[in-house]
Amino acid sequence: MLAKNISLPEALKSFVDEHVNQGGYGTSSDYVRELIRKDQGRLALRGVLLAGASSPAAATADEAYFDGVRERVSKVARAGASR
């Protein structure tokens, strides 16, 4: 693993130190890595949402559509409960 040093003003350093102590992180590096992973996930989700928003509608989201979604979810839940 490569090292990357960052400089923080005292207020941000204190903030990170508090979160390390309270959040169960071993080091400030662990905390920063977690923040970066969350940001990567956020950006990936944003990309998926933007792609979905710009794609044509696949089906009409009416009452029948949501009834079908509920039925599929129920089937999966029943199958999971019987395992």
Is residue 43 in some structural domain? Answer: yes
Is residue 48 in some structural domain? Answer: yes
pTM for this one?
0.64
Is residue 38 in some structural domain? Answer: yes
User: Terminal CA-to-CA distance of the chain, rounded, Å?
Assistant: 41
Q: Predicted confidence band at 31 (pLDDT cuts at 50, 70, 90)?
A: very high
DSSP structural state of residue 33: H
Is residue 51 in some structural domain? Answer: yes
Is residue 42 in some structural domain? Answer: yes
Tell the residue number behind the tokens 């080091």, with chain if given.
27
Is residue 26 in some structural domain? Answer: yes
> What is the average pLDDT value for the chain, to the nearest integer?
93
Q: Which domain, by its residues, includes 30?
A: 16-55
Is residue 2 in some structural domain? Answer: no
Domain count of the fold of the chain: 1
Asked whether the predicted pLDDT for residue 70 surpasses 90, the reply is yes
